[in-house]
Structure 1
Amino acid sequence: MTARPPTPPLFPMFADLRDRDVLVVGGGTVARRKVAALLDSGARVTVGAPALEPELARWARKGRITHRSGRFEPHWLDRVWLAIAATDEASTNEAVAAAGEARRVWVNVVDEAALSTFQVPARIERGPLQLAISSGGAAPMLARALRERLERQLDPSLGSLAEFLSLHRRRIRARFAHMGARRRFFDQVLSGPLPDLLRRGRLDEATHTLEQALAGGDTGTRGSVVLVGAGPGDPGLLTLRALRVLNEADVILHDRLVGAGVLALARRDAELVEVGKQAGNHHATQDQIHALMLEHARAGRRVVRLKGGDPFVFGRGGEELQFLRGYGIDYEVVPGITAALACAAYAGIPLTHRDHAQSVRLLTAHCSGSRDALDWKALAADRQTLAIYMGVAGLEDFSARLIAHGRAPSTPVAIIENGSLPQQRVIATTLASAANAARTHAVESPALLIIGEVAALAGQLHWFGVPPRVGPAPSADIPRAA
């Protein structure tokens, strides 16, 4: 038996359908999706079908499309540039394909590669920039999966960049008539600060940068720093922008508690430097972190300062930006999901609840000096939630002060260790018992405390990891409110 020759790959092309007639056969949901994409391309669309689904019917009434009522007839293909068969009748789809072949009209039969003379690819759109993915009809779900992956990785600002370069295209071609020179120009511009300036909406600076490049000046490979919030630990909680920045970084200065799962998403050749500080064991002082940011940025590198949670919630992000601004280093901030929000959610605890808490306070109380400055009377008020960062070490003193200022010893408390990670533990206890519970269960950093009536919902609303554990009785030395 003679082996069949391999199917050749499809020839990739982008069709200009502006003011050109296109026929869609079928009036259902699939046809509506195809019509919407064709209208976006400027095509004049005729939909042939006995009846139309509601949205198509509305478009026909408004004149956006033309409705040809009835069953398909070959003459419908007269004067059209291409056609799409999107019915659920195999005989109709085959008839459209055969009529198209006879008239040399390009036809796509939805989900029938063998009957189609062209395929509609999975697309990623960023303004005028389009990426098309096709498996030649062999594995459309694979093409869609790749599209979803690229959608997450490609910044929306690529559309602005494409529009900006299109606006200046003639000047660029006139200045660099030779293809090789033009290619080197684009290599310089696209690897410099211009794309990032456009992403941040700084059009005047982007235009000035391009003018410098057109004049033959050095646009400079300026270094920059991005403060990125890594969230509480689950890599799935990173924002899309954080993921993109990690894939662009030359150097990543990361906190100790940023997990391996998050770091694994970084660019493979990025330099990873741990700069985290732990109570009683300072790997690097804040001044050393500042010095590292400055050193790498001045060397023209793209630096990511990767912090657990959010850079601006007990992350010293403000101090670091003040330092960078003082030295004229370009910077931006990518917010992260702070621990109070994420850990509470993963523990099944709503931080606010109309029956229990109308406000939330975010606190850090890892040293006695910071605790002395707090308004304990206000913190002890009912119907509010306290979310306390780095509070395990001072939990006994913290609980005692709250109780002494009127908070009930029976107030529910949840201690969340390693929130959002597979090893997450939740200890359900009370304010009077919290310190003893933390010791009994040997709670370690990172741990977050939730104090307030909402903490009692952890047992009822639990959904992630092991169920909450119940803490022991209170220590004898915890004072009671008068």
Structure 2
Amino acid sequence: MAEALLPVMLRIAGKRCVVVGGGEVAAQKVRQLLECGADILIVSPALNDELQTLARQGRICWLPQPYDPAALNGAFLVFACTDDNEVNRRVFADCQARQIWCNVVDVPELCSFFMPSILRRGDLVIAVSTSGNSPAFARQVRLFLEGIVGDEFGRLVALLGELKDAMRQTLPTFEQRRKFIERVWQSEIWAHLQESDGDAARQCLRQCLTAVAQRDARDGETQGCEG
């Protein structure tokens, strides 16, 4: 069994992320980074058509030269995506010396972090990782989950975000909020979400919130009368 890894969600908007390489694998990493608002520098003598277009649009910065350690200055994350193993190893070693997180694609022993296979439904993000053992299997699990977790899950997360402040005021403890989510999960809200009926879904959430708050209030009164 591989060493235990700590799953985290990173805020990288506006942070410098360096991608070394200019082919399809590099383009895949760039697409993921763009989704998160990263400040992307790509280092490669040449780029594929997709990356050239992004560079012309000003969505990424392109340093048209072979890898140089100076490109790592100010980097938060680094991805080594070249087809030259020696270059990839140098990138990783330089990152280690600078204490920068680095991912050398498909070389687990040269990674300080792994990129999971990601399923997004709005603000709901499900990340699947095999700890570097088999990215292809992680992808297959993600495809399986895509058939189970539909867009309605993302809609529910968005509505819960709208209700977050009221929920914390009405249900101040984690246990109360857990009961609320369990009640929501078993409610008729899913039908409203699948029909994209936001008003009905909001009303259902408010009813669940009120029901849990009232039940806890009654339980508290009962306990206060005991003895």
TM-score, scaled to structure 1: 0.43
Alignment of 1:12 onto 2:1: no
- Tell whether 2:210 aligns with 1:215: yes
Matched, 1:163 2:149: no
**Corresponding residue for residue 136 of structure 1:** 131
2:174 aligned partner: 179
Across the aligned residues of Structure 1 and Structure 2, the Cα RMSD in angstroms comes to: 1.4
Contact 2:124 2:154 survives alignment (8 Å):
yes
- How far, CA to CA, are the matches of 1:86 and 1:156 in structure 2? 32
- Matches for 1:6-85 after TM superposition, within 5 Å: 7-85=2-80
Report whether the alignment pairs 1:109 with 2:87.
no
Contact 2:80/2:105 (CA < 8 Å) preserved in 1? yes
Match of residue 193 from structure 1: 188
Confirm or deny: 8 A CA contact 2:2 2:131 kept in the other structure: no
Q: Secondary structure at the match of 1:132?
A: strand
Structure number, greater radius of gyration: 1
Measured after TM superposition, the shift of residue 143 of structure 1 is 1.1
Aligned residue in 1 for 2:221? none
Name whichever structure is richer in strand by fraction: 1
For structure 2, the residue ranges without an aligned partner over 5 or more in a row are 214-227
Distance of 2:142 and 2:158 partners within structure 1: 22
Distance, in Å, in 2 between the alignment partners of 1:9 and 1:195 is 35
In 2: Cα distance, 1:131 partner to 1:179 partner = 22
SS of equivalent residue, structure 1 residue 205: helix
Higher relative contact order (CA 8 A, sep 6+): 2
How far apart are the structure 2 equivalents of 1:44 and 1:152? 33
Amino acid at match of 2:87: T
1:24-423 → structure 2 map (5 Å cutoff): 24-216=19-211
SS at match of 2:126: strand
Seq. identity, %? 33
Once residues 13 and 211 of structure 1 are traced to their aligned partners in structure 2, the CA distance between those partners, rounded to angstroms, is: 31
- How many Å separate the matches in 1 of 2:143 and 2:53? 30
Provide the rounded CA distance (Å) in 1 between the counterparts of 2:69 and 2:23. 20
Please state which structure has a larger fraction of its residues in helix.
2
Structure 1 unaligned regions, length at least 5: 1-5, 219-482
Equivalent position SS for 1:216? helix
Q: Which residue of 2 aligns with 1:469?
A: none
d(CA) in 1 for partners of 2:63 and 2:152?
40
The equivalent residue for 2:220 is none
Q: Report the secondary structure of 2:147's partner residue.
A: helix
**1:217 Cα deviation from its structure 2 partner:** 7.3
Give 1:203 shift: 1.2
| Amino acid aligned to 1:29 | E
Alignment partners' CA distance in 2, 1:11 and 1:185: 28
Give the TM-score, by structure 2 length.
0.90
Q: Are 2:179 and 2:212, in contact at CA under 8 Å, matched by a contact in 1? A: no
